[in-house]
Amino acid sequence: MALELKKAQRSRAFLKLGIAAPSGGGKTLGALLIAYGLMKQKYPGETDAFRWGKIGIIDTENGSGELYVGSEVTGVKIGEYNAVTLSKPFDVDKYIQGIDLCLDSGLEVAIIDSSTHLWSGEGGLLEQQNIAAKRSNNSYTAWRDITPKHNQFVDKMLQSPIHIIATMRAKQEYVQEKDSQTGKTTVRKLGLEPEQRKGMEYEFTIFFDIDSEHNAYGSKDRTSMFDAKMFKITPKIGEQMMAWLNGGVTTEAVVIATSHKANKEEALASLKTNIIESCKVLGGSGNEELMAVVKKYAPNGNPNSINDETKLAELKSELDSLQATK
């Protein structure tokens, strides 16, 4: 396939948002409010029942993801959204099935609550790696089977045509510091560390860290709307995200140049295909006259072994002439 150089442009895309918070930080509620904001912005003329009906939660928290139905938070009534419950063992296939189920059901936002179970939950990737390491007695090589599974999950999230909000548990990190003058020891909060494979946050369009006081911080943001900002999560955040997503273009990209190498490879492949088809029509290896012609260019009698475009073109011309006499 030919490579193409195009003018860069921001196309309309699906939101991929990561949220990390410690226990009680409000990651599930925050995800629901953002999901509602996304649908409110997209469907301004629809009812709240319709908007909530477009949202699904893939729940690994023993049904806790469904507890918010009917609640009222900051003036927002949480409506009846959809839920898919995952039970242990938490393997990749279950998460992928959950995303597919949301897609097949016509939902537009899938909240994965949480992806931490896939990593460190019972039957998750860390447990699978530990089992493999004990079996092989080699912790390093045990990752050869686990890493592709994790990549499969990430690819599914990123490539699925649905807005995805993935929540993760986070641990608050602290450090003890001693004042050099007073000798008094104080505890300083360093930040949040998601319970997930290292670097996972870089896979998302936007990543929020939420602290125990429910303050969200935009630690990674390709939209630049929330980058390095502290704020409370409300549906307005989702509305801003949807407005940004809808700002992408839908026109076809302008191609500036095409890879000549790729074009040449395609031309060779096309010639070989045509030659093979001609050989079949002429009777294949059972036709001595045909094979004599082929071996002039490929002594082994296999046209696929020819990689010179000129020779392939000459062979094709001779086969066409041979075919015309039959």
Model-level pTM greater than 0.75?
no
**Could you report the per-residue pLDDT of 72-101, keeping only the tens digit for each?**
988 899 999 999 999 999 999 999 999 999
**Could you report the per-residue pLDDT of 10-50, keeping only the tens digit for each?**
667 899 999 999 888 899 999 999 999 999 999 999 999 99
Cβ contact 322:282 at 8 Å: yes
Mean pLDDT across 147-169: 95
Query: Looking at residue 323, what is its pLDDT?
Result: 72
| Nearest partner of 107 among 55, 65, 157, 66, judged by Cα | 55
Higher pLDDT, 185 or 97: 97
Residue 2 pLDDT class (50, 70, 90 cuts): low
DSSP 113-138: E-SHHHHHSTTSHHHHHHHHHHHHT-
Query: Looking at residue 262, what is its pLDDT?
Result: 56
Structure tokens at 100: 């597919």
CA distance linking residue 83 with residue 57, whole number of Å:
5
Average pLDDT, the chain: 87
Q: Which residue has the tokens 């319709």?
A: 50
